[in-house]
Amino acid sequence: MNSIYEKALNFKNKYSSTVAFRIKKHSKVALNHLDQGETVEYVFVGQKNDKHIQMPNTFVFALTNKRMLLSKKRVFFGYLFYAITPDMLNDVKVKANIFWGKIIIDTVKELVTISNLSKRSLDEIETAITKYMIEKKNFIV
């Protein structure tokens, strides 16, 4: 079984109010792009968009020992895949609203907004991304 899918499903089951669809298909895209020797450290799901009303935009986000993977299988043809290397990451911002929250990852080139996340999941995601950035960028704490 696909370990990315299993971890994504565990996240979705743990934080069931997170909005996410077609997790298995999106996970398969990420799995196809894993390099040899690359291991998955943390996986979560969410909507890659700026607005809460853009619901059908689910991505699987995987932190590996080499990079951050963002993957989405399109409904009809093709897929979207982004890889963000640790040197491109700047900082993380968390916003909690009434029902859901969002994580904003500042990279050198753009802001990656992940919305419609369960408010309970925000601390776990922020901690995982921050630890990832510290470890991979070799910061001294």
pLDDT in tens, 89-125: 999 999 998 889 999 999 998 899 998 999 999 999 9
Determine the pLDDT at residue 76: 86
Query: Which pLDDT band, with edges at 50, 70 and 90, does 23 fall under?
Result: confident
Determine the pLDDT at residue 135: 87
Neighbours of 42 (CB within 10 A): 18
Q: Would the pLDDT of 130 be above 70?
A: yes
* Half-sphere exposure in the Cβ direction for 78 (13 Å, CA): 2
In terms of Cα–Cα distance, which of 39, 40, 12 is closest to 116? 12
Determine the pLDDT at residue 1: 45
Instruction: Please give the CATH number for the structural domain made up of 3-136.
Output: 2.30.29.30
Considering only residues 1 and 41, tell me which one the structure prediction assigns the higher pLDDT.
41
Per-residue pLDDT, averaged over 37-56, amounts to: 82
| Residue 111 β-bridge partners | 106
Determine the pLDDT at residue 2: 67
Inter-residue contact 134 to 117 (CB < 8 Å): no
Residue 43: C-alpha distances to residues 70, 77, 128 (Å): 10, 24, 9
Determine the pLDDT at residue 137: 76
The Cα diameter of the chain in Å comes to 46
